[in-house]
Amino acid sequence: MPKKREHISVNPLYARPDEDTAASRYVMRQDPMTPETAYQLVHDETMLDGNARLNLATFVGTWMDDQAERLYAESYDKNMIDKDEYPQTAAIEDNCWHILANLWNSPDAANSIGTSTVGSSEACMLGGLALKRRWQLARRAEGKSTEKPNLIMSSAVQVCWEKFCNYWDVEPRYVPISEEHQTLDGHDLASYVDENTIGVVGVLGVTYTGMYEPIEKISKALDKIEKATGFNVPIHVDGASGAMIAPFLQPDLVWDFRLPRVHSISTSAHKYGLVYPGLGWVIWRSADLLPKELIFDVTYLGGSMPTFALNFSRPAAQVLLQFYLFLRLGREGFRQVQQTSQDVAVHLSSGIAAMGPFELWNDGTDIPVFAWRLKKQHKAKWDLYDLSDRLKMQGWLVPAYPMPDDLSSITVQRIVVRNGLSMDLADRFLADMSADVEYLDRLAAPMPSQHKSKAFAH
């Protein structure tokens, strides 16, 4: 029998030492192994993951071009916080949020203030913290209690807002959505606002459906409330997806710093900012809206760089990728990319509506995201969870889930169209989904007893 040492020299893959036993998972193994074997073990295990490009559940980027990948590989060793060591990267971060302040119609972009984050969750936390601290400072100045801050938002907010309220002791006031008010739209807002309200969150591209909340309408409702009560309530726009769609596809929609009540806006660069995970941005319309005591100064090259973030170290590569895209695409390139995604979304939503059993919740004309539910008469046969399972067998990841309060009895399914889901692949998806519907219908149909075995053939 050959010795193991001889095995190494002829390198028979999967028959080398450590490749003939299961890897140690919960306790660190005692001895090292070769890098080739360790690589192969990790590489092979992740083959069991889904295919990221077929993941129609995620908002997060799964494709970038070759030059971006080259830049990524050149810079993944840089830490964003090391502004002394990487002053150019720090300057590029600064360029990026100024570009965004301008894109979001800041009346004085040079005087805005912003930062990169690891994603929208961190960006939303920072936006929420600024709202809370400004409210506290104003209340203290008036000798009033700061015990019970509250934040108003739709019941359909992303979980990061529930986290914010939980982590920082803010009472969440959820406005339930309904068939009549499918998003937070300013309706009945007065019954939620009081002197302890630190702000209202408006979402541009609701996670559950992709719909825009009408920020201008919310702002006008708050104007009315201020007139009646004197409570001046600011808005943070959670534009995780929509803040990188609306400027290109709906430039006339007023949702951003054109509204004075909008104090801050956040987005996920790794969603429709088209960058790989994880990068987000948060920007305040003017520096005075971010209380100074929340900012820490990092000095570099004789100057000083203000930082306001939850994490200290984080990757810098994505910031460079964002700047690459701003240069590479420009406004017109971003418009073309987002318009193509929207065309694919509308093509998919109309194809799904035409299949028969489904009723669209929306059609993908806000952000390129849409949801649908089963028509009532189909409910007894099979549900969207069954369809989700069928699609998964072909590699497509399309989640089914209940809507939030007060619509939690409704189950929807949702598709997020991203750069990289081509019209050709979309047609492939429609063909697969149509075949799945046919299969599920056939399975649910009452079987004539004499043809029992044929009824299940497919």
Least CB distance to ligand PLP at residue 26 (A): 28
Binding to ligand PLP by residue 207, rule CB under 6 A? Answer: yes
Least CB distance to ligand PLP at residue 126 (A): 12
Across 408-424, b (16+ Cβ under 10 Å) vs e yields eeebbbbbbbbbebeee
Binding to ligand PLP by residue 72, rule CB under 6 A? Answer: no
| Footprint on residues 139-158 left by ligand PLP (CB under 6 A) | 158
Binding to ligand PLP by residue 100, rule CB under 6 A? Answer: no
With CB under 6 A as the rule, give the number of residues binding ligand PLP. Answer: 15
**CB under 6 A: which stretch of 40-48, 94-102, 120-128, 300-308 binds ligand PLP?**
120-128
Across 230-264, b (16+ Cβ under 10 Å) vs e yields eeebbbbbbbbbbbbbbbbbbeebebbbbbebbbb
Q: 269 or 305, CB closer to ligand PLP?
A: 269
Instruction: Give residue 238's identity as a one-letter amino acid code.
Output: D
Position among 125, 203, 221, 384 found at the interface with ligand PLP (CB under 6 A): 203
Nearest to 117 by CA among 339, 347, 271: 271
Least CB distance to ligand PLP at residue 280 (A): 5
Binding to ligand PLP by residue 120, rule CB under 6 A? Answer: yes
Contact 135, 198 (CB under 8 A): yes
**What is the number of other CB atoms lying within 10 angstroms of the CB of residue 71?**
17
Token output for 413: 């399914």
Local structure of 188: helix, strand or coil = coil
Contact 270, 318 (CB under 8 A): yes
Strands 197-203, 235-238: parallel, antiparallel or unpaired by DSSP? Answer: parallel
Least CB distance to ligand PLP at residue 135 (A): 21
Instruction: Give residue 158's identity as a one-letter amino acid code.
Output: Q
Q: 214 or 357, CB closer to ligand PLP?
A: 214
Instruction: Give residue 309's identity as a one-letter amino acid code.
Output: A
Least CB distance to ligand PLP at residue 441 (A): 33
Q: 124 or 175, CB closer to ligand PLP?
A: 124
Nearest to 81 by CA among 309, 313, 322, 244: 313
The secondary structure of residue 176, as a DSSP letter, is -
Least CB distance to ligand PLP at residue 69 (A): 21
Q: 203 or 412, CB closer to ligand PLP?
A: 203
Rounded CA gap, 401 and 385, in Å?
8
**What is the number of other CB atoms lying within 10 angstroms of the CB of residue 116?**
25
The strand ranges marked E within 392-448 are 400-402, 411-416
Q: 59 or 104, CB closer to ligand PLP?
A: 59
Rounded CA gap, 424 and 276, in Å?
23
Position among 61, 119, 202, 357 found at the interface with ligand PLP (CB under 6 A): 119
| Footprint on residues 254-283 left by ligand PLP (CB under 6 A) | 268, 280
Binding mask 217-246 for ligand PLP (x = CB under 6 A): ---------------------x-xx-----
Q: 109 or 398, CB closer to ligand PLP?
A: 398
Least CB distance to ligand PLP at residue 174 (A): 15
Helices assigned H by DSSP within 28-147: 35-45, 66-75, 87-103, 120-141
Local structure of 86: helix, strand or coil = coil
Nearest to 274 by CA among 238, 312, 245: 245
Least CB distance to ligand PLP at residue 371 (A): 13
Position among 55, 121, 182, 419 found at the interface with ligand PLP (CB under 6 A): 121
Closest residue to ligand PLP, Cβ-based? 119
Binding to ligand PLP by residue 363, rule CB under 6 A? Answer: no
Angle between helices 120-141 and 159-167 (to 10 degrees): 40
Position among 59, 135, 276, 372 found at the interface with ligand PLP (CB under 6 A): 59
Q: 265 or 421, CB closer to ligand PLP?
A: 265
**CB under 6 A: which stretch of 21-29, 91-99, 113-121, 299-307 binds ligand PLP?**
113-121
Binding to ligand PLP by residue 80, rule CB under 6 A? Answer: no
Least CB distance to ligand PLP at residue 157 (A): 7
Helices assigned H by DSSP within 168-253: 215-229, 246-249
In the chain, the N- to C-terminal Cα span, in Å, equals 50
Binding to ligand PLP by residue 364, rule CB under 6 A? Answer: no
Rounded CA gap, 142 and 122, in Å?
30
Binding to ligand PLP by residue 160, rule CB under 6 A? Answer: yes
Contact 127, 264 (CB under 8 A): yes
**CB under 6 A: which stretch of 115-123, 168-176, 356-364, 367-375 binds ligand PLP?**
115-123
Which residues of the shown chain bind ligand PLP in the complex (CB under 6 A)?
59, 119-121, 124, 158, 160, 203, 205, 207, 238, 240-241, 268, 280
